[in-house]
């Protein structure tokens, strides 16, 4: 169905942080990386746990929500395309 295990990357540059987030379709999770500490790699973000401080938690929560909404939008479009293709095939 998808060509990649990951959704489109989203960026956030505010509050002194440079973050990038992606939706991991394999694990159904959102992963976030800090571009200032790229050697630390991707971290699966859990909004129930938050981040290391309140400002960073707000940024990560925002990225998390945006990733999920983006993925839902892509998924709903994929369903529409599939239904349309099935109707045309009949």
At 24-82, the pLDDT tens digits run 999 999 999 999 998 999 999 999 999 999 999 999 999 999 999 888 886 566 555 55
Residue 4 lies in a domain: no
- Look at residue 75 in the predicted model and tell me its pLDDT: 56
- Look at residue 12 in the predicted model and tell me its pLDDT: 87
Residue 48 lies in a domain: yes
Residue 5 lies in a domain: no
Identify the domain containing residue 24 by its residue range: 10-89
Q: Which long-range contacts (CB under 8 A, 24 or more apart) does 10-19 make?
A: 10/63, 10/66, 10/67, 10/70, 12/59, 12/62, 12/63, 14/59, 15/55, 15/56, 15/58, 15/59, 17/55, 17/56, 17/59, 19/59, 19/60, 19/63
Residue 39 lies in a domain: yes
Residue 3 lies in a domain: no
Residue 30 lies in a domain: yes
Residue 2 lies in a domain: no
Q: What is the number of structural domains in the chain?
A: 1
């Amino acid at each position: 169905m998808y060509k990649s295990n990951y959704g489109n990357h989203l960026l956030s540059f505010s509050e002194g942080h440079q973050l990038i987030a992606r939706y991991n379709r394999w694990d159904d999770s959102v992963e976030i990386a800090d571009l200032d500490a790229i050697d630390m790699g991707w971290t699966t973000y859990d909004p129930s746990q938050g981040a290391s401080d309140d400002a960073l938690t707000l940024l990560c929560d925002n990225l998390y929500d945006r990733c999920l909404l983006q993925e839902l939008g892509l998924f709903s479009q994929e369903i529409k395309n599939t239904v349309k293709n099935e109707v045309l095939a009949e």
